[in-house]
Copies of this chain bind each other. A is one copy, B any other.
């Protein structure tokens, strides 16, 4: 397959326009978002929906996140990612496959219908994780486009994926919220450097390759005019386009940040061989086997489940 978005190059990185539409022929007739919301997403590369989940739902989600992290305490499994400097869990990956509660959640119509509308097709989950950014010592995460990595290291051919972050703690300006550059999703920023095999083992903790240069960030910021912060109450959901440039500052405040993170990819955009010519990253980072479209489900996860068998 032709590589439409070459990166990890030698020499001077280029910036070029994306070759894929942002919204794939959807209108407000095709899902829960109205035209104003669709237009905002198309122009800016993200959409923050305050209180998409209720307080009661957030309480359940928080409990399940805590329960999952406790289940994984002491685990040496590769999908359980620890802090660089300690044994504390920072993320648990692949929760839509290895955890019944989050598997259900990943098919909840309230998020899946939006993902379908944005991507103009049926969707599947390419990656999922729950994240815990502790208070007092949450580290910063430098600017990056997820797509650049997913394209080069996972073989995602086109820009037709959306990340859905369900925030489970109030996000303030001062506790390391996600920062985004509006409009940056319209431009592909090449990164410099060759990708080593098994790069993911390092890059999940600290990104070194696939990092855009300062000039490109300055250029995007000049175009976008500002940096936006995803601040708001727990239960809000941020949808952001796979190529939107984002990052976060550190968090010295006592308030931790936790969220559930699903990457919805179009069923028409399944992974191929990685464009960096490396071995594919493991399934828990990038699903490539048994990929099926999600059937959106309506259900109330605040109600105790009744055993079906």
Contact = CB atoms under 8 A, between A and B. Distances in A.
Interface in A228-282: 229, 247-254
B252 A221 contact: no
B142 A252 contact: yes
Given A136-B214, A217-B136, A253 B174 contact: no
A145 to B, nearest CB: 14
A143 interface: yes
A173 interface: yes
A172 B227 contact: yes
B179 A252 contact: yes
A218 B252 contact: no
A221 B179 CA distance: 24
List the number of copies, as a whole number.
2
Interface centre among A172, A173, A176, A249 (most CB of B within 10 A): A249
B140 A250 contact: yes
Given A172-B227, A173-B229, A227-B172, A251 B254 contact: no
A86 to B, nearest CB: 14
Given A136-B214, A136-B217, A143 B252 contact: yes
Interface in A141-161: 141-143
A57 to B, nearest CB: 26
The 6 closest A-B pairs by CB, nearest first: A173-B173, A250-B250, A140-B250, A249-B249, A249-B250, A247-B252
Interface of A: 135-136, 140-143, 172-174, 176, 179, 214, 217-218, 221, 227, 229, 247-254
Given A173-B174, A173-B229, A214-B254, 9 more contacts: A135-B214, A140-B250, A142-B252, A172-B227, A173-B173, A174-B179, A217-B254, A249-B249, A249-B251
